[in-house]
Structure 1
Amino acid sequence: MARSDPITAPEALHPSLWFASQLARSTTRCIDTGYAALSAQLPGGGWPTGSLVELLLQQSGIGEMRLLHPALAELKRPIVLLQPPQVPQALGLSALGVQPAQLIWVRNTGRTADGQWAAEQALRSGCCGAVLLWDRHVRGESLRRLHLAAQSSDTLFCMMRPIQEAQDASPAPLRLAVRGAVGGVRIEFIKRRGPQRDEPLFLPLTPSTLLRHASVDRPAPAPAPARGILPAVVG
């Protein structure tokens, strides 16, 4: 019987190839999520940098900051919050391990294009550790432009969008739907470089006492206007 040739590993042919039955190897640096169960389900074992990551939320403020805070706490460079649904609170962020001095808060001007413009400038500056953008209305061409801007940096770029957008196409290589659950959140893997996972992943998120009382204990930092974001980041 003739001996069959060994199967060549797909990543040996090109780093963007992988078997459908396995998670892809990340071609960029990844940041540990801080949750072992979640990291084990992501290519590269963490949040990918230099690409668009979509968190599709059942509702804003459902726990996205608690989900991201272990990764954010590891960053030393500025963290840009663009159009968050609630006023960032210094004490609550400190309780999560995120230093308020790192934060640049850009308020919602009412113009969707302003937040997207600010995100693109922050990403292309290459000075940010993370850029977080909350946006309810974004077109496909805008998503592609933002993904390209993210690829020009090693920044963690997460875009928070309504969960209803999960049915629409997106260039983001990683798309997670986040729904509320008792004691935490349920994460559905809408898109990842790897096998399809039909069963949601439950992730416990327990707020601290400091976080629950943060809104009344400490005033928020002053916001920055969207069109002034780039000088604030690079200066």
Structure 2
Amino acid sequence: MRSARMSPESVHPGVWRASQLAGPHRRVAACGDPQLAAEMPGGGWPRGTLTDLLLPSAGVGEMRLLRSALAAVAGRPVMLLQPPHRIQPAALAWWGLSAEHVRVLHAGKTADALWACEQILRAGTTAALIFWQNHVRPESLRRLHLAAQASDTLFFMMRPLATASDASTAPLRLAIRPARDGVNVEFVKRRGPRRDDALFTPLSPSPILNVNRNASVDRRSSPVAVPRSVPAEVVA
């Protein structure tokens, strides 16, 4: 008698057929767009792993793309490491994020930024970590990916689009390009079949455009203590 055909999922949660999207072996966060969710392994942003977002330049809509995921962790710590632009308090409030739970960290050296990122992941107390970095050595990416796997943190690295051809341990790599009323999402790497066409994802308007760029920042909240002399700034 012929034995029943065994499904890949019954062997291990991380195994899947090349013709199908991998299922979630950990929790995921909502994408906020059903069409994007349908193309994501597990149906959302993965937790406890490295996700690469590759950008032609900062500010093309990448933060608005993550709005639903960040709103889902409102009330828990969110870390922004090496952001290239000032974060506006009005945008945080619009997303339901309390400024007291958001921390902006800046490091003078790449080595210090990488070290701080790894420590944040290993601590496992941060709900989401977004790290902007231009060039990262493959061995450093592996260390960060391993550190992320020991946590349940939403971990995104914002890197230049030019690094799309570089090797990366990230299971999910997306190229984000600006488009009218949204962004075009290209799947550079995912656990599932190849998709050659970009997926348009609509984005809601950002309140950042309506905020006075010269407005002062309220710094009354106490800063986060970060070792190795990495300065910390509270966005409030």
Aligned to 2:78: 79
Q: How many percent identity over aligned positions?
A: 49
Aligned to 1:35: 33
- Label 1:93 to 1:15 Cα distance change in 2 as closer, same or farther (>3 A): same
CA displacement, residues 47-104 of structure 1 (integer Å, 9 cap, x when unaligned): 0000000000111111111011111011031000000010111112212332211101
CA RMSD in angstroms, aligned pairs only: 2.2
Question: Aligned ranges for residues 64-213 of structure 1 at < 5 Å?
Answer: 64-75=62-73, 76-109=75-108, 111-208=109-206, 210-213=207-210
Give, in angstroms, the shift of residue 113 of structure 1: 1.4
Give the letter for the 2:49 counterpart.
S
CA contact (8 A) 1:29 1:49 kept: yes
CA displacement, residues 180-208 of structure 1 (integer Å, 9 cap, x when unaligned): 11111100000110111111000112314
Name structure 2 gaps, 5 residues minimum.
Answer: none
Runs of 4+ off more than 4 Å: 221-226, 228-232
Name structure 1 gaps, 5 residues minimum.
Answer: none
What CA distance in whole angstroms lies between the structure 1 residues aligned with 2:232 and 2:208?
31
What CA distance in whole angstroms lies between the structure 2 residues aligned with 1:89 and 1:54?
23
2:15 is paired with a residue whose SS is coil
CA contact (8 A) 2:105 2:231 kept: no
What CA distance in whole angstroms lies between the structure 1 residues aligned with 2:28 and 2:169?
18
Deviates more, 1:66-75 or 1:199-208: 199-208
- Normalising by the residue count of structure 1, what TM-score does the alignment of the two structures yield? 0.90
How many residue pairs are counted as aligned between the two chains?
228
Give, in angstroms, the shift of residue 219 of structure 1: 3.1
Give, in angstroms, the shift of residue 15 of structure 1: 1.4
CA contact (8 A) 1:18 1:24 kept: yes
More helix by percentage:
1
Give the letter for the 1:135 counterpart.
Q
